[in-house]
Amino acid sequence: MSSTAGRKFMEELSNLLQKHVSIVTSQGKTYVGTLTGVDTEHLSVCLTNAVNEKGIIEGSGPAAERVQRVFDEFIREKGIKVA
């Protein structure tokens, strides 16, 4: 990809930040969520409130809830303020 094409691609990708997007992975899985970050070196993306093609939010359920409780307790014990 030429530097002009690469620059245009990254500009277009940047315009999608904080927008609701649908992502198809190289394994063919589809996720829908808000694009909150892009690793330009590896073209990895970060989605918030992501849902897979079955409508399941990744990281939901009893295990995710337990992890959240442990994390919250850790934050309280360390006295870290979270916005």
Q: What is the CATH number of the domain that holds 24?
A: 2.30.30.100
Q: Is residue 17 part of a domain?
A: yes
Mean predicted lDDT score pLDDT of the chain: 84
Nearest to 50 by CA among 35, 37, 39: 35
Confidence of residue 1 (pLDDT cuts 50, 70, 90): low
Residue 83 has a pLDDT of 52
Instruction: Please report whether residue 33 resides in a domain.
Output: yes
Nearest to 48 by CA among 58, 60, 39: 58
- For the entire predicted model, the pTM comes to 0.61
17 pLDDT band (50/70/90 cuts)? very high
Percent share of the chain, pLDDT over 90 = 18
Residue 51 resides in a domain = yes
Counting the structural domains of the chain, the total is 1
Res 21: pLDDT: 94
Q: Degrees (nearest 5) of the Cα angle 73, 77, 82?
A: 75
What's residue 20's pLDDT? 94
Domain with 31, as residue range(s), is: 3-58
Tell me whether residue 65 is in a domain: no
**Count of CB atoms within 10 A of residue 16's CB?**
13
C-alpha span between 36 and 47 (Å, rounded): 6
